[in-house]
Structure 1
């Protein structure tokens, strides 16, 4: 069965807004509406009370007011053409507050269990002694436009196939590890298998995740996972993590570490890794991580891009990472005392192969890596372990004051995205190598035939500010129902990646 949701583009412009509104009105005009109100003034007092013989495919369930108990939706199913939407009552924003609630271990204040073709939209979930929004054995699930904060474990996540997490904001996640005191940590937003079998087809886009004490956004035990256009900053361990996953694309994310309060303090004190590709040992069906593309990302003040292995389960055959392609990233002002902008330790069990590191703008060569057309900033020479593997010198080393950004300023941690756009005289302009697998930049504009290195192509930057009015790269709100338009599915998107 094909998933029902669309690819999802950068949502902006009056035309898209009008189309979204029209689709929303058409959907609502044809649907039966229900009201959930804990005070008893609606059709139901909780999501637990919804029965499938009443709520049918295409219906809309409005949540109204503040809910003080765990909300569980169980065995409720829409269809591909008529998903069931759960959203806030018009003109309000429903709140699920767990101050006095008692969810089970790792359970969410809002739970979707064995549900299919469900949209959860525009609610606030806060103050959970466990997790925020969780789902189990679901398929074709969308969680969008939600705010989750002050949860002890995970903010949003669970297990299921064909899942979209879009335009959510999560902060103060994994609070059980506040100030690093717990010694271990969960993920703030993540996939996670329930049965040990890999999940399929996850799309995590336009979310903001910050000020949290675990891992920011994770693709764990999943085959097919796209993480794009997210803003992730000041998380404790790692900002974006790929673990036991394949067919992963990490594209056009803004990642930074600014506040030392969130630095990891286990065996050292330094900021989170920007993007990490790992192969940890899981209790059930551990698998390697492979076919991972990391492109068009801006990483500022983090511990760059790295990998991680642990354990030797099943003779160690699962603990390896291969076929990682790192293209067109800007890695700026990496932590001086940490692991640096790019570190790829030799794995123990399988010789790594099929890896590429090209067209990156950065401020070490490992066997199994192809390295070319990178610009190293702030050093006199290219680091010994990072010289080109082609036999021809195609990379550059320049002083940081000579990189010539269009702003005329040398950016720092917390600078707006536009401060990282290249100027006309930048030595990083037009020195990349064309890559058939990467046709567009962070802003969605075409790469030149002789591309510039880094996350934004020179010459396109005047057409886009690269961020919303907040200046942090996060997206505007996505209207409920927009993705119901008959356009390409997420499955088609994965085939293109």
Structure 2
């Protein structure tokens, strides 16, 4: 009889660990709270298992080279780089080589949270690579400023395997794209954004004073840009370039008239769609939904640019937005034969200061205009509809930079004059519109303020 040997192999999975970093630590330590590492790179090297955390104590951490994050987390077990509780952690890239990013994410299921990241000689946080390897990354609650290019950026160079499933939320991005400050560079990087990407969510960020576009997506699909505050960037505040199936909603976009960020002596436009030329890539903008945004004092509030590749407004919804007081036309559409199945409905356009209220060029038979409110100028005949309203919308306090001031007074002519659409179920504040459709970004809600503003 042959002997049968059965070998049982028992594997144990070590629990996730917290590794601490402090300016008083040593890289020869264990990385515990009482014996922290000295450098963030040592902490990242130690965090090899899904669920591991690199927790950095307060202080300034100058870097001489890029912090590469190469160890992967897993579903519901991210590897996280973050600050300790409410302590201020500053990662400084002043001494890194030229044209190198400060933090580079080279893997998946990574979270970077609650850090101050400054003086990058390229990108503050760079997420670069194929989506098969670079995906499910979260950049949350960081203060990123004074970067030569983007504050944070995700991208790749292959539309067949785009970087994907990225969340950038609750960040403050300021004074980035400094390479373009003296207009000696033609770089048009975003303060925050992505290119050749899929499923990128840009949510609740504040983006300002960047010498390039504020928030942007290009050659991207299924993005979300929502609940952001965007102001005083260069050329365009929110830009969709060769981007499809993307929602742009509940953003507050304005200028403080800081002319350091003017292009051609004008502030940035609010929201723009275009299709620039990218050699070897085609992804004409289409099926984008732009709703419940408040646009104040920009150059154009909403515009389509037909330059370079053109392509038109294709299957685009621009609905229930409030546009106020642009220095140029509130609505600007370049001539293009490619417009298809686009609707511009239920918006409020209030112009001040004598600028034109619209500039509409070329054929618009494939664009439906209806149930919009116009005040402060005569709109182009192509946009007029029998269901339009021509009257002051009676905001609570139009002209401020406070989104709530663009709520409607109780006697506003914008009340109950819209048409119900499946794309707009709620308003700027998240209130359900139900069966009543008011024009603009806000549904009327009776408050002490607007009841006294009659």
- Normalised to the residue count of structure 1, the TM-score between the two structures is 0.76
Give the whole-Å Cα distance in 1 for the aligned partners of 2:333 and 2:447: 32
Query: How far did residue 127 of structure 1 move?
Result: 1.4
Would you say 1:404 and 2:394 are equivalent positions? yes
Give the Å deviation of 1:75: 2.5
Pick closer, same or farther for the CA change 1:355–1:207 going to 2, 3 Å: same
* Cα distance between partner residues in 2 of 1:76 and 1:237: 38
Relative contact order, higher structure (CA 8 A, sep 6+): 1
Instruction: Name the structure 2 match of 1:19.
Output: none
1:220 counterpart SS class = strand
Task: State how 1:254-333 maps to structure 2 within 5 Å.
Answer: 254-265=252-263, 268-302=264-298, 303-312=300-309, 319-333=311-325
- The counterpart of 2:244, out of the listed 236, 243, 246, is 246
RMSD: 2.3
**1:34 to 2:19 alignment:** yes
- 1:47–1:73 contact (8 Å) kept in structure 2: no
Match in the other structure for 2:49: 56
Is 1:146 the counterpart of 2:135? The answer is: no
Aligned pairs for 1:344-363 (under 5 A) are 344-347=333-336, 351-363=338-350
> Residues 279-324 of structure 1: CA distance to partner in whole angstroms, max 9, x if unpaired?
1111232320110000000000012111224435xxx8xx454111
Q: Deviations over 1:393-432 (max 9, x none)?
A: 100112x4xx322x3x4x21x4322221101111111111
C-alpha displacement of 1:53:
7.3
Could you say which structure has the larger radius of gyration? Answer: 2
**8 A Cα contact 1:298 1:455, kept in partner:** yes
User: What are the residue-to-residue correspondences of 1:319-468 with 2, within 5 Å?
Assistant: 319-335=311-327, 338=328, 340-347=329-336, 351-363=338-350, 364=359, 366-379=364-377, 381-388=378-385, 393-398=386-391, 400=392, 403-405=393-395, 407=396, 409=397, 411-412=398-399, 414-459=400-445
Give the structure 1 partner of residue 353 of structure 2: none
- In 1, the alpha carbon distance for the partners of 2:331 and 2:45 equals 51
Instruction: Report the alpha carbon displacement of residue 439 of structure 1 after superposing the two structures with TM.
Output: 0.6
Q: Which 4+ residue blocks in structure 1 deviate beyond 6 angstroms?
A: 460-464
The equivalent residue for 2:85 is 90
Could you report, residue by residue, the CA deviation over 1:44-102 in whole angstroms, capped at 9, with x for unpaired residues? Answer: 44444457775211111112332211342342111112111110123422211122222
Q: Say yes or no: does 1:126 pair with 2:118.
A: yes
- Structure 2 CA distance for partners of 1:325 and 1:289, relative to 1, 3 Å: same
| Alignment correspondent of 1:475 | none
CA–CA distance in structure 2, aligned partners of residues 262 and 289 of structure 1 = 30
Aligned counterpart in structure 1 of residue 76 of structure 2, from 81, 100, 116: 81
- Which 5+ residue runs of structure 2 have no aligned equivalent? 1-14, 32-36, 156-162, 351-358
Cα distance in 2 between the residues matched to 1:300 and 1:433: 24
Please give the per-residue CA displacement for 1:306-353, whole angstroms capped at 9, x wherever unaligned.
1224435xxx8xx45411110000000011xx3x11111122xx5211
Contact 1:79–1:117 at 8 Å: present in 2 too?
yes
What secondary structure sits across from 2:280 in the alignment? coil
Correspondence for 2:101: 108
Structure with a larger share of its residues in helix: 1
Name the CA distance, whole Å, in 2 between partners of 1:179 and 1:455.
Answer: 37
TM superposition shift of 1:251? 0.3
By how many angstroms is 1:223 displaced? 1.1
Task: Select 1:173's aligned residue among 169, 172, 176.
Answer: 176
1:110 Cα deviation from its structure 2 partner: 1.3
Q: Structure 2 length as normaliser, TM-score?
A: 0.83
Relative to structure 1, is the Cα distance of residues 56 and 304 closer, same or farther in structure 2, using a 3 angstrom cutoff? same
Residues paired across the two proteins, number: 403
Tell me the distance in 1 between the aligned counterparts of 2:368 and 2:74.
Answer: 46
Displacement after TM superposition at 1:244 (Å): 1.4
CA distance in 1, matches of 2:438, 2:171: 32
